[in-house]
Chains A and B, each alone.
Chain A
């Protein structure tokens, strides 16, 4: 299994719908999990951290499932402006200071 895997999509979703996607990780020792958003030809920007108990920020909900080693992102009432690539990030080898390992991203297209 690759370190961090995401379905590349694209996910084509009508405006106002709810969409969810997952990210699996291989290192059971990983402790830090994030979702980043990247617009076309722009730098990634942190969307939200993912906490063990799950967390919500407005229309966005992130969950962590340690047993199955995946994190998820749920977007409710999707907006046109949510169209972007969503990158999951997990801390790397052995939980040390290696830095984050990013997934390749899931491309989301919100259609009017």
Chain B
């Protein structure tokens, strides 16, 4: 099993550009989430989903959109990139919810110039 797959691994954007970070899992997990990790700030929850068609905001949702059209995929869209969105982004999933073991993808290093 591939587990949680994130693409791309690295991305450089200019301010104002938009892009989508891809996340896919092949473990039939209901729960998927996006975190960002910044030096000195730890992991912060951006958005999460408890199943296909259901999404909700986490701690830092501004500037990001998500959708969950299938159980497997949970893309994160940056609408108009800003330098403050420079970060490492992790997608994570678990079988039913956040209170179970979270499986993380390998991360996307995003730089916004």
Q: Is the CB of A104 within 8 A of B102?
A: no
Contact across chains for B90 and A32 when beta carbons are under 8 A apart: no
Task: List A40-81 residues whose CB lies under 8 Å from chain B.
Answer: 42-46, 49
Measuring CB to CB, which residues of chain A are less than 8 angstroms from any residue of chain B? 31-32, 34, 36, 42-46, 49, 87, 89, 91-92, 97-105
Is A42's CB under 8 angstroms from B106's CB?
A: yes
Instruction: Report A-chain residues with C-beta under 8 Å of the C-beta of B75.
Output: none
Q: Which of B5-25 contact A (CB under 8 A)?
A: none
Query: What is B's interface to A at a CB cutoff of 8 Å?
Result: 33, 35, 40-45, 48, 50, 56, 58-59, 90, 97-99, 101-102, 104-107
Q: How far is the CA of A98 from the CA of B61 in the complex (A)?
A: 12
Whole-angstrom CA separation of A97 from B47 in the bound complex:
11
Residue of A nearest to B54 (CB): A97
Contact of B99 among A31, A42, A101, A104 (CB under 8 A): A31
Residues of B within 8 A of A44 (CB): 43, 90, 102, 104
Chain B proximity of A28: nearest CB distance (Å):
17
Instruction: Assess whether A98 is in contact with B45, with CB atoms less than 8 Å apart.
Output: yes
Complex: A23 Cα to B105 Cα, angstroms: 25
Could you say which of A43, A100, A104 contacts B45, with CB atoms under 8 Å apart? A100
